[in-house]
Structure 1
Amino acid sequence: MQADSQKPEKLTAHLASAGREPFRRSVALRSVLLFLPQAVIGGAILYLLFDLQADGVLSVVRANQESTVAEVAQRTLAELSEADADLLYLASRPALRHWLETRDPAGRAALEADLRVFAAARAGYEQIRLLDATGQETLRIDWHAGAPAVVPPAGLRDRSGRPYVQEMLTHAPGTIHVSPFDLNVEDGEIEPGPKPVVRFGTALADDRGELLGMIVLNLMGSRLLDGVAAMAGPGPGAVWMLNSDGYWLRGPSPDVEWGFLYPARSEQRFGRRFPRAWSAIQADPAGGQLRTEAGLFTYVTIRPEGDLPADGVAATLRAELPAWILVGFLPAHALEAQRDEQAMEFVPAAAALALLSATLSFGIARASVQRQQADQRMRSSELRFRALLESAPDAVVITDPSGRIVLVNAQTERLFGHAREQLVGQDVEILVPVALRSRHVGHRRAYLEAPRVREMGAGQDLNGLRADGTTFPVSISLSPVQTDDGLLVVADIRDVGDRLQAERQIQDLNQRLRRDNAELEAVNRELEAFSYSVSHDLRAPLRAIDGFSQALVEDYGEQLDDEGRHYLSRVRQGAQRMGRLIDDLLKLSRVTRQELAIADVDLAVLAQEVVDRLRSEAPDREVEVAIDGPLFARGDQRLLQIALDNLLGNAWKFTSGQDRAWIRFDLRDAGGEPAFCIADNGAGFDMVYADQLFRAFQRLHTPSEFPGTGIGLATVQRIIHKHGGRIWAESEAGRGARFFFTLQRPPAAGA
């Protein structure tokens, strides 16, 4: 906009310097009025619409990244909670207790068989270890070649010096110890692969409190870390995992990961690459979002802790837990690319993301309920179910066939404002607006006649009732679950207020865009009518000046001296030049407003037509013209013909002083980009003035040297820009010129 606003001032200055006639000043003023409204009004409207849509798109991008990071955190915590439950399950196994207390060979064989069955069923642990009170391995199951294998006694090692063993020995038996993420080390060397691992361990004691040994599960960290990367999905975005010191566990590339274990990578920290983001994470480690010059960051700190029941199998006090940081990252160039897309293009992506999130939430809730019903007598299964239910991103309400609430999650408390003690045992209608409760009872009974997984109230607006009496829009998915105690109905409830508000904002933006487009079309019609009026108003007096000047020469020429006749000749030349200038200005205006009619075009054919016409107009000139055809492109044939007329006409004109003039038109490589090139050996120009070439009325040669109005190259630039391309020139004074231009629209497949 700033460059456009400077053009009228430079245009006015140029015309004023060309002569002192008041008529010329009037032409300059009208030219400014012709271009200024279109540049200012059109540019302002388009910029405003773009800015409004860009803000909406950025909000969607922020929300999508927050949702992705939250889902990754929930999935990660769910896997860690399962490892907790598995550890408690194994610690309570009779076979383990029997062997620890008796150490008889038969008991060991039974324990090995029990652990192999567990390892094959879970298939998620690199190793299962039993250590004695000193840290010496007494039994180990390795996951090898896709199956669990018992390590022979010769392969058992002393682990007393490992930090996780010393940590377990400092805490009371039954306390769960979770190690930081690191790589598995055997015989003092990092195992090839490498193999990421998180260790879950607890010390075991007899009834008198005497330490019997320790059990350790090595969780396959690669599955968990691969899940972190996979949840980011396709596209430029990424989700990384860091430890509390800022080292990458899963990062942008393998060569920056595990820097605290590889000395050569010790400087590869998140904080060194993204210092502003790391400062924000340290200031508010719980979670947040910020945008820096590098891109958009969303982060959350997670710890492997869950709700263990007070009457659990073992003590539920934990050792100090490690913390990991999940960071979602969208680079700055991807954010800038988003600004170039219309906000409506994000609606399908947002709908797909909402559908994916709903499906995932439903799957987690359903898996949780099924796991609880199948393993309700096992404390470890109960822990997994509760962890999954509490980590669900949506409110989950479970009811019995009579419509009474039997279970809710923490998200339900936050969404509706009721404590779960106030909800359990109540009719589900407590969450329904009062005016709709009687109708909801009928719908609930009809659903029980043919229960199936479906969306509730498809095509209707649903609302929930908060504890404070306010209502809010929701979407609800229903899932029947058959249990030993009868049919239960799981309702997955999501607050869709933000989504509906975003949809209304998009509709408002679309309506405003249609109104602004209509106004812009009206302004263009007025400008076109104004241009024709200017053409008519200016041509008539110019013709009169030229005609009367010619009459004076013819009728009174003998009465005038040589100087008088010279003055009349100057008047006629000025009037004729002004007429040509008006014609060129109107052509430039029409090029700006003309709609493109895109088709396959051979530029070589068009160029040959221009050359044939130039030869017919100047048969005495000998110019060597080489056209390297065919030169296929996609564009408006009429506008491209005008562009070639000007470019080849300039080359023809500026080679007029050469004894052996030549002109070439071909396709060249311009820095890795194909570009059309028109080259000549004419007068050329100094590259110091190259930025003035494509400005209206800017000429690098005087009219006495080479005639012209200074509009031709400005017209060519407008045409090339309308085709999504660019144009530039290279030259040296007295050594010819080369004009390059590109057309972004691709040629046809057959070309």
Structure 2
Amino acid sequence: MINQKNESIRKKKKVIFRRTLLLFLFFFAIITASVLTIYQADEILDIGEQKTQAENIVTVKLENIQTEMSHVTTDLMILSLNSQLLKFWDDTTNTEIMTSISQEFLTTAIYRKIYDQVRLINDDGQELIRINYNNGYPAAVAKHNLQNKKDRYYFQDAIKLNKNEIFASQLDLNIEHGQIEQPLKPMIRIATPVFDKKGKKRGIVLFNYFGENIINMLIHKDSLAKNQLMLLNSDGYWLKGPSPDLEWGFMYKDHKDITFDKYYPNVWEIIKNNEASQFETDLGLFTFKTIYPLLNKQKYPATENFTLKTKDASLKKAYAWKLVYYIPAAVLYSKHKEYRQQAGIIITILFIVMLIFATRYAKIEYHKLHAEISLKKSEANLKEAVAAKDKFFSILAHDLKAPFNSMLAFSTILNEQFDKYDSEKQKKFIGMIYTSIQNTYKLLESILLWSRSQRGTIDFKPKKINLFLLTNETYELLQHSAENKSITLTKRIPENIFIEADKDMLSTTLRNLLSNAIKFTPKNGKISVTAHLIKDANNIPFVEVIVKDSGIGISQEVQAELFDISTQTITEGTDNESGTGFGLILCKEFVEKHGGKIWLKSEVGKGSDFTFTIPLKSDITTI
């Protein structure tokens, strides 16, 4: 008695625990999902703010560079169109005019403070005026120190230009006496031709612009952005990089391989082939825009009527920079760890509160629902058991009655009137009894097999099977039945198609479908079996097998009941062949056991197609 009581208490505690767990999980899942949703929204908002900030930084820096280059071209045009310069070409010996022009050039260098040199060069390449910046102390170079620059590329390219055309070199490092000047001096040479009053080209005005001004624009006050704002040339070399060691690789023979592409290969492909974009990779967030410093598509108020020319063949490629703002993934998601820690604390507190609440609630609800659950469960089990019993005995009684009646009738005749019949007649009666016994045995065997499948006592042993060979074996078993009705059996199955299945179950399925096809196909009919590989909506591979016959077909009403045990229908074949009514039911059981499906397509008088699928395991090679 005590043991029974303890067992009852133990079961009650177990039920309380389950109910508590379910209630807890339900409410905890809802609240946890809400908390996580809020924090996920914060994370998304944080990422969105960083993306917006990145776009704003890139846009502002791009505008700053464009504005700076606009001022440079404006200065160049002002000096090239100087009225004193026009007078000078009429009298190149006039020292007063020369002094005035030199002073104008000097004034530009003094107040702008962005030009290393400002020069006037005649059409023979001879320097007429050269203003050197001299580390903040601009001065004109004495006449006897002026040089001829006719062999320099910038003169040769600039002197070829027409009116209103501007030459610009690449942004690179200044070279003195064949060596890169130290400390490094980034430089752009910008020039335009000058003409006399008659429109004759007389020389060029040339600026050596301090490229460091552009580099300095990219130094951002935000510490996070300090090493993330980069400037690349059209070949992917850093002009301004995360560290000085990576910059100006194209200027050094042993640094030619130091490119953005080497460190970020997939990223560079996107940046190189697009004007502007913002995208995220495993490395982090990249925001970039393309700068055409002097290209007339980016208009400047004072220079929109001028055209950029470079010594490179491709204008767009030669003078395009990529302004890139890079936020590493660790920085991009740095706040997410903080958010998740906060969410973890809140969820832990909620966990404890909800666990207490769920425990108390479960204890109250247990006594109220326990009786109802037990009653419903008992009622359902009883109904299911009664229905199964009634169904089984109804089928069994119905299907056994006919063959037993037949056997009783013929055996009675033989028992009472054996001597009245000749041996031929006796053999006929005995053959009928034998056939009836065979059919009854098949029925009992099918019922037993179905019963075992319902109880789950049939061993399911899938293994690698050659479908072609298995179909051959089935054909050999049924060949005689087909030949008796002059039915042609064909198959279209690749010889090397393999599946993983229980051989007995699959053989039974094929045998039942082919037996039915033979049974309901008239003489001289045709039956075929085909198989091929398919994939379902989830891209899972299956083998689809189709058994097609030219038989009498099946009505829509009968089709709806073929796989239902509770509405079992037995129909004689075209030669009065008998059946058990369990064949298709077993086929359905076995196919579904493999995780497949079975269905049919049929019209009365036009034959039937029975199709079933078997999953193809990933380690099985087929076709």
- Normalised TM-score (structure 2): 0.49
Larger relative contact order, structure 1 or 2 (CA cutoff 8 Å, min sep 6): 2
Q: Which has the larger radius of gyration?
A: 2
TM-score by length of 1: 0.42
